[in-house]
């Protein structure tokens, strides 16, 4: 039974780390890239997004804009990361007090 619990915790740890990485990959490069471009070209981000929407009608740009990760995808991975972390903390607390 102890071996089963150990495998369960290892799987939960791996799952939590993967969810955290997916959330990080889907959020931070997008934010950092937009801040970099707005500072480099001294452009307001609201105007830059309007240009992206207007210019999104042609082929490669439309594919690029439609291929971006949605915010619900990010929210799901953040939620799974939080739940996995809570599970691991609660398991560690139970293990320590038994």
Model pLDDT for residues 57-72, shown as the tens digit of each residue = 555 555 555 555 567 7
The number of beta carbons lying within 10 Å of the beta carbon of residue 74 is 17
Rounded mean pLDDT of 12-41? 81
The dihedral formed by the CA atoms of 52, 53, 56 and 61, expressed in degrees to the nearest 10: 30
Confidence of residue 6 (pLDDT cuts 50, 70, 90): confident
The reported pLDDT for the residue numbered 29 is 72
Q: Is the pLDDT of residue 89 over 60?
A: yes
Instruction: Calculate mean pLDDT across residues 73-92.
Output: 87
If pLDDT is split at 50, 70 and 90, which confidence band does 49 have? low
């Amino acid at each position: 039974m102890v071996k089963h619990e150990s495998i369960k915790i290892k799987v939960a740890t791996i799952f939590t780390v993967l969810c955290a990485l997916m959330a990080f990959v889907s959020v931070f490069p997008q934010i950092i890239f937009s801040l970099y471009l707005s500072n480099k070209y001294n452009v307001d981000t609201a105007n830059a997004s309007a240009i992206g929407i207007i210019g999104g009608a042609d082929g490669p740009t439309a594919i690029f804009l439609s291929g971006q990760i949605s915010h619900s995808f990010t929210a799901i991975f953040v939620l799974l990361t939080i739940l996995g972390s809570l599970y691991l903390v609660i398991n560690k607390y139970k293990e320590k007090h038994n």
